[in-house]
Amino acid sequence: MCCVLCRRVFVVLLSCCPLLMLGCPSEPAQAPAPTAGEAGSAVSESSEPDSATDLGEPTDAETVNEASPAATDDGSTPQEPTPEGTPEPEPAPAETPEPATSSATGNQELLPTSVVLGDESLYEGIPGEGPLTVEQVKEWLATPGVHESLSITLPLGLSLGEKQIVGIEENPLTRAKIELGRQLYFDKRLSSDGTISCASCHDPAMGYGAQTQFGVGVEGQTGNRNSPVSFNRILSGPQFWDGRAESLEAQAVGPIANPIEMANTHDVAVETVKGLEAYRVQFDAVFGADSVNIDNIGKAIATFERAIVTGPSPYDYYAAVKPFLDQFPTEDDLGELKEDEPDLYAEYEEAKALADEHPMSESAIRGRELFFGEKAGCTACHVGANFTDEKYHNLGVGMDAEEPDLGRFAVTGDEKDKGAFKTPTVRNIELTSPYMHDGSQKTLEEVVEWYARGGHPNEWLSEKIKKLDLTDQDKQDLVAFMKSLTGPFPMVETGRLPE
């Protein structure tokens, strides 16, 4: 949330507005549907060190974030996203007010340049109705702040992965670039026959995936792989199930020229975009004069994708309060905390209130133990803030076919990579059935059965995949845990494309 007076973003409910000298609303009820932005956690360090100051001084509330779940989930899992963390009292440095506007152009206020990804202002499109006119675009591009590099933090939960952020130094996030990428992402005119956009297979309404076994492209063509999700890409380097695209930018231009996806050529797509003045004006403003080309199309789309992140899930809220409960297990302990460390206690209360409001079921809590623990061992691969090691493993999926898809092997030529695919995130996984690189498994129950059986035996099966000794209840609990990983997406404008 942003203070109307000082235009600073206060992402943690506890932080104070220096001008009002008031706490920001501590009642989550004032934020009806907690969005990623609102419930975001503050991490004072910006991933872009230069602009870290934009965010102001660290707030005391960030200790909640540091005392993150992952640290306590299983000390034996070295890949956990955070360093050790138990709530440590931390003084809240006095905040110095900033001028209400630093806009050089005078009457218009500078849009905030420090944001928590998920903040809806990033995706709401250029104001107005219907197709986007050149006039509207020009007016909006003149808004102070739209071209500033954003200093970003990630929402609670995902914020544990701030150190893994990739790509934004090479291709900084700006509001104008996110908006341009948004338009391109939803624009079917990039395909050969005007029927398919990125969103056809990575649809916000379907968890940024598609509910078909394989991606369905121009003229109903299909390949042999399931559409993975296009969110939380900001924490992901090489793209595709086999990692053949070295960056999101490189990935983004692939589908346009893929004969079974958008079936276009890059040249024709570039000409189409060039032919629309509203696009031309935006490319010029974002990338410089005469800059409509395929690389910049890729950069803009990648920027939009990086901005799409999952908001806090019940698991994340639970994880934020868990360290307090571990360290102060009894009412007496909490009473003492209240007396000795009132600020820290207030943080605890805040975290507790949010966790109570987004509860994890008992089953999901048991599933969490299994997922992180030895018995199911899922975090051997689904680890870190985005629940993936970004590495390639053979689970035996599809290996019973006569000519199996050899996955990573096609990229590296390395024998051991045969049948290995990139570990997908399991955030918001309940929204993106069917599962696996070949879309062969329809439900999470089926997936858990697959793991319980130890995958499908084959010469290259990962050593980390073994038969699991799970009861029916355990299996249900694992599914319940995965469902507790569902967090909100920001609302994204899907129309408002250049006329």
What residues line the site for ligand HEC (CB under 6 A)? 196, 198, 200-202, 215-217, 223, 225, 227-228, 230, 233, 239-242, 251-252, 255-256, 261-262, 301, 305, 376-378, 380-382, 393, 395, 397, 421, 423-424, 426, 429, 432, 435-437, 444, 447-448, 451, 462, 464-465, 478
CB of 229 to ligand HEC, least distance (A): 7
Sign of the C-alpha dihedral computed for residues 381, 41, 56 and 89 taken in this order = negative
Q: How far apart are CA 405 and CA 177, in angstroms?
A: 36
Asked if residues 410 and 453 have their Cβ atoms less than 8 Å apart, the reply is no
C-beta closer to ligand HEC: residue 5 or 410 = 410
CB of 149 to ligand HEC, least distance (A): 22
Residue type, 127: P
Element containing residue 472 per DSSP (H, E) = helix 472-483
CB of 72 to ligand HEC, least distance (A): 19
Q: Which residues contact 116 (CB under 8 A, 6 or more apart)?
A: 9, 11, 36, 37, 40, 42, 152, 153, 154, 155
Q: Which residues contact 284 (CB under 8 A, 6 or more apart)?
A: 290, 291
Q: Which residues contact 419 (CB under 8 A, 6 or more apart)?
A: 394, 396, 397, 398, 399, 404, 405, 406, 407, 409, 458, 460
C-beta closer to ligand HEC: residue 69 or 238 = 238
Q: How far apart are CA 393 and CA 408, in angstroms?
A: 9
CB of 190 to ligand HEC, least distance (A): 7
Q: Say how far residue 490 (Cα) sits from the centre of its chain.
A: 10
CB of 306 to ligand HEC, least distance (A): 10
CB of 11 to ligand HEC, least distance (A): 26
Asked if residues 210 and 201 have their Cβ atoms less than 8 Å apart, the reply is yes
CB of 367 to ligand HEC, least distance (A): 9
175: its two tokens: 């509001």
Q: Which residues contact 170 (CB under 8 A, 6 or more apart)?
A: 247, 249
C-beta closer to ligand HEC: residue 38 or 417 = 417
C-beta closer to ligand HEC: residue 56 or 298 = 298
Q: Which residues contact 283 (CB under 8 A, 6 or more apart)?
A: 180, 273, 291, 292, 296, 300
C-beta closer to ligand HEC: residue 279 or 435 = 435
CB of 304 to ligand HEC, least distance (A): 8
Taking Cα atoms as reference points, which of 468, 493, 498 lies closest to residue 178?
493
C-beta closer to ligand HEC: residue 483 or 496 = 483
C-beta closer to ligand HEC: residue 13 or 253 = 253
CB of 280 to ligand HEC, least distance (A): 19
Q: How far apart are CA 116 and CA 122, in angstroms?
A: 10
C-beta closer to ligand HEC: residue 63 or 200 = 200
C-beta closer to ligand HEC: residue 72 or 433 = 433
Q: How far apart are CA 145 and CA 283, in angstroms?
A: 17
CB of 296 to ligand HEC, least distance (A): 13
Taking Cα atoms as reference points, which of 263, 250, 258, 259 lies closest to residue 297?
250
CB of 133 to ligand HEC, least distance (A): 24
C-beta closer to ligand HEC: residue 278 or 429 = 429
Q: Say how far residue 59 (Cα) sits from the centre of its chain.
A: 23
C-beta closer to ligand HEC: residue 151 or 441 = 441
Q: Write out the DSSP string of 63-108.
A: HHHHS-HHHHH-TT-TT-SS----------PPPPP--S---TTSSS
Asked if residues 394 and 420 have their Cβ atoms less than 8 Å apart, the reply is yes
